[in-house]
Amino acid sequence: MPKFLSDEYFSAVQTALSQDQKWMESTRSIKTSLAFTVTDTGQCQILTVENGTTTLQKASGGTPAEFSFDGTYDAWTRVVKGEIDIQSAVLKGQLRFKGSITKILAYRDRLIRFAEVMHNVPKEF
């Protein structure tokens, strides 16, 4: 079982997203990128979505993306465990968001699905 936030874990998440019908249907007509940074470890992953095709790749902090979410390992663990959703984590200051708030709200259901898929991928903490 891959360790949470490892390369193997993100590879499993990408595979799960590419096999998730709900995710693929909801991203069929969008093109965007989201950076997810773990502030206390410096890890960053870029989620790129283009017309239903999704890739996750390791990046350095500050890599350009349309949206970014930055938070501690603990905050991301809580999101992935389903203890808090991404929107609540941003509103409570546990995750920092950069980008158009109006546009990201249009993607809210997709972010929820992304977190659900991350939650369902087997992992150890």
Dihedral sign, Cα of residue 22, residue 26, residue 31, residue 35:
negative
**What is the pTM for the complete model shown?**
0.88
Distance from the first to the final alpha carbon of the chain:
10
**Residue range 7-32, pLDDT digits in tens:** 999 999 999 999 999 999 999 999 99
Arithmetic mean of pLDDT, 117-124: 94
Arithmetic mean of pLDDT, 45-71: 91
Domain layout of the chain by residue ranges: 7-117
Domain made up of 7-117: CATH architecture: 2-Layer Sandwich (3.30)
Where helices occur in the chain by DSSP H, the ranges are: 7-19, 21-26, 73-80, 86-91, 101-106, 108-120
- Per-residue pLDDT at 67: 96
Residue type, 17: L
Residue 25 CA to residue 19 CA, distance in Å, equals: 11
